[in-house]
Amino acid sequence: MNIYPHLVACEHCDSVYRRCTLAAGEVARCRRCDAVLERANPLDADRWLALTMATAVVFLIANVCPIVRISLNGTYRQATLWEFAWALAQGSVAPLAIVAGLVMILVPLAQITLLTWVLSYARVGRRAPGFARALRALAILRPWSMVEVAIFGILVAIIKLVSLVDVTLGAGVWATAALMVLLTVIAHRDLSALWDQTEDESALRRGGAA
Amino acid sequence: MTRTPFASDLSVVGCHTCGLVCERVDTPGRDVQCPRCGATLHQRRPHGFARAWALLVAAIICYIPANVLPVMHSSLLGRGSSSTIMEGAVEFWTSGSYGIAFVIFIASVAVPCAKFLILGLLLFTSQRRSRWATRERAKLYRLVEFVGYWSMLDVLVVAVVAALVQFQGLTDISPRVGILFFGMVVIFTMLAAMSFDPRHIWDGEINGGVE
């Protein structure tokens, strides 16, 4: 089968263009439907990996520290991200606890793990074992990562409660806010460029042996 | 040729996973894999219309109990009361938090209803290979993709409130089944938007619109 690496097809309307090199900050848009064809990635694999590690640290803090603390008549209660999800595990609503746990915690965790795996090989120009599957998984996971919605949900809940009880913010809420920003920076990128930046080692070996 | 060619004009197909443009090989009954990433190559997502319609109808059906059934039950000093999504928004409005009431209304009523209408419109016009306002319809699709997951807001608000307000005997807030249906509406509409292949919007213009 012939392949045409110098061409690019618009994902939204199937128009075909000749690829052009983009300078940092440039975006190639489809002339027909105005969708983004390619976006220059200002991060090289090293910086990208460093930011991913930072995201992992922030993720850990966001999961361990309480997000909000409320007090009423001298008694108080505080909750972490996990307890938010767990609060839905009651009676007929229970399946929703899995969904909440996935979109707030597990999907971001999977994104961080997969990116760390892929990038730690990509920084030396190699494709990690399971590279194709990892990239496919990252593309599938992206729409289900909802940390920004969680932050907004926490804010709305605080406004809802503030007239009834005393509300104090915990360290977790700042970590979650930082997680929202960092996760957007590391996960909302054009992954297909990684194919061009890395070499398939097994193919190279096969080529060398032939 | 002055107009930009479509992939089908050049007999190529773009891999939906890694973006590589490959030669189009027709092998009836057998899947062709992308030589770079191994994903199956499609001209269009298979059964896109049927799946998207089915998921859209499922979402609209779930939207009814999501609005009629209570999403939260709060018991304050022994007095219990349940509230639906709309009652929650109205409560914010009457207590003077107009901004928040507006946000809740947008996320839980306006966005889901707009998604039903837009997805229905896109599916209907694309199936008829309409050439009407293609560029605008393409933008509508991207809008639906972008705002879709924000409707999950209500579910997470209920989760946060229910996790915090648990003072045994005094005040207690717990989730009710309405929120499960609402979560299903959000998931089904997201899946419907993903099943629909936006390239169908342009089907009417392939071959210059001449069959």
Residues A161 and A191 in one domain: yes
**Does residue A209 lie in a domain region?**
no
Query: So what's the pLDDT on residue A208?
Result: 45
**Does residue A108 lie in a domain region?**
yes
Kindly determine whether residue A79 and residue B164, on different chains, have CB atoms separated by under 8 Å.
yes
- pLDDT band of B178, cuts 50, 70, 90: very high
Query: So what's the pLDDT on residue B2?
Result: 65
Q: Does A166 lie at the interface with B, CB-CB under 8 angstroms?
A: no
Render pLDDT for B6-43 as a digit per residue (tens, 0 to 9): 888 888 998 888 888 998 887 777 788 888 888 888 88
Tokens 């920003």, residue?
A: A181
**Does residue A29 lie in a domain region?**
yes
Displacement of CA B96 from its chain's centroid (Å): 31
Look at residue B210 and tell me whether its pLDDT is greater than 50: no
Residues A100 and A77 in one domain: yes
Look up the pTM and report it: 0.90
Q: Amino acid identity of A19? A: R
Average pLDDT over residues A18-39: 87
Comparing CA positions, the residue from A5, A10, A19 lying closest to residue B23 is A5
Q: Which of B21, B163, B199 sits opposite A79 (nearest CB)?
A: B163
- pLDDT band of B194, cuts 50, 70, 90: very high
The range of the structural domain enclosing residue A21 comes to: 1-40
Residues A178 and A190 in one domain: yes
3-state secondary structure of A148: helix
Query: So what's the pLDDT on residue A206?
Result: 53
Kindly determine whether residue B153 and residue A72, on different chains, have CB atoms separated by under 8 Å.
no
Residues in Cβ contact with B103 at an 8 Å cutoff, skipping those fewer than 6 apart: A156, B153
**Does residue A210 lie in a domain region?**
no
Render pLDDT for A81-130 as a digit per residue (tens, 0 to 9): 999 999 999 888 999 999 999 999 999 999 999 999 999 999 998 889 99
Query: So what's the pLDDT on residue A203?
Result: 58
Look at residue B169 and tell me whether its pLDDT is greater than 70: no
How many domains does one find in chain A?
2
Residues A97 and A28 in one domain: no
Q: Does A157 lie at the interface with B, CB-CB under 8 angstroms?
A: yes
3-state secondary structure of B147: helix
Residues A78 and A144 in one domain: yes
Q: Does B74 lie at the interface with A, CB-CB under 8 angstroms?
A: no
Residues A104 and A33 in one domain: no
**Does residue A167 lie in a domain region?**
yes
Residues A135 and A177 in one domain: yes
Average pLDDT over residues B121-149: 89
**Does residue A208 lie in a domain region?**
no
Tell me the chain A residues in contact with residue B138 when contact means C-beta distances shorter than 8 Å.
Answer: 12-13, 33-35
**CA–CA gap between residue B12 and residue B86 (Å, rounded):** 50
Average pLDDT over residues B161-183: 88
Residues A72 and A126 in one domain: yes
**CA–CA gap between residue B207 and residue B176 (Å, rounded):** 53
Query: So what's the pLDDT on residue A163?
Result: 82
Q: Which long-range contacts (CB under 8 A, 24 or more apart) does A38-43 make?
A: A38/A8, A38/A190, A38/A193, A39/A189, A39/A190, A41/A189, A41/A190, A41/A193, A43/A189
Residues A183 and A100 in one domain: yes
Residues A104 and A132 in one domain: yes
Query: Is the ipTM value over 0.85, yes or no?
Result: yes
Look at residue A204 and tell me whether its pLDDT is greater than 90: no
Query: CATH number, domain at A66?
Result: 1.20.140
Look at residue A194 and tell me whether its pLDDT is greater than 90: no
Q: Which domains does chain B carry?
A: 1-43 (no CATH), 47-209 (1.20.140)
Q: Six-digit token pair at B24?
A: 């189009």
Q: Which of B6, B10, B21, B106 to mutate to test the interface with A (most CBs of A within 10 A)?
A: B21
**Does residue A36 lie in a domain region?**
yes
**CA–CA gap between residue B151 and residue B148 (Å, rounded):** 6
Residues A103 and A35 in one domain: no
Look at residue A209 and tell me whether its pLDDT is greater than 60: no
Terminus-to-terminus CA distance in chain A, angstroms? 20
Residues A179 and A86 in one domain: yes
